[in-house]
Amino acid sequence: MMEKLASLWAERSRREQWMLGVMFALLAVVLLWFGVAMPLDRGQRGARDALLAATDRNAAIRAAVKQLKALPRTPVVSGPATAIDQFVGQSAGEAGLTLERAQAQGQDRMEIAIATVRPSALFGWVARLEAQGVRVETLSVRPSPTAGSLSVQAVLVRGEGR
């Protein structure tokens, strides 16, 4: 292979050899520029932009944390006045959820199971319960057979957290 290239090179005149040499040198410069230098430059610019965006997000989060720490602390609501099982059942009905099992475990504690529920509906309902003084002690969430739905088992307790 090298012998064939050497014979092809020797067949060329001195002028053609110079032109081919200049062409190969320019081709090498173009390949280095577009194959190495530009991708490295684009990567560096992308990393710099990502760093600036992350720095901005960090500053915004720190400012939000500072504002949250400055808020006055409000006492936690002790819970609804009705029995927890009645309150949770009524709240679930208002949220459009069907409790498969709702078993009271004393005055201020109950276990529930929901066969199928959309994640947004579940977590919105749980947030409303917590805002009214019923907290989640344990929560087990698994995908249900229905696409995009969850199967839930939870223990709910009245009152503030530990």
Residue 49 has pLDDT above 90, yes or no: yes
- Region 4-17: mean pLDDT is 93
- In this prediction, residues 46-67 reach a mean pLDDT of 93
- Using DSSP's 3-state secondary structure scheme, residue 138 falls into strand
pLDDT band at 72 (very low <50, low <70, confident <90, very high): confident
Using CA atoms in the order 69, 74, 78, 82, what is the torsion angle rounded to 10 degrees? -120
The reported pLDDT for the residue numbered 37 is: 95
Tokens of 126: 């749980």
Could you give the dihedral angle defined by the CA atoms of residues 76, 80, 83 and 86, in that order, rounded to the nearest 10 degrees? -120
The pLDDT assigned to 81 comes to 66
What is the mean predicted confidence (pLDDT) over 130-140?
91
Computed over every residue of the chain, the mean pLDDT equals 89
What pLDDT was estimated at residue 161?
56
Q: Which residue has the tokens 């959309």?
A: 118
Enter the pTM of the model. Answer: 0.50
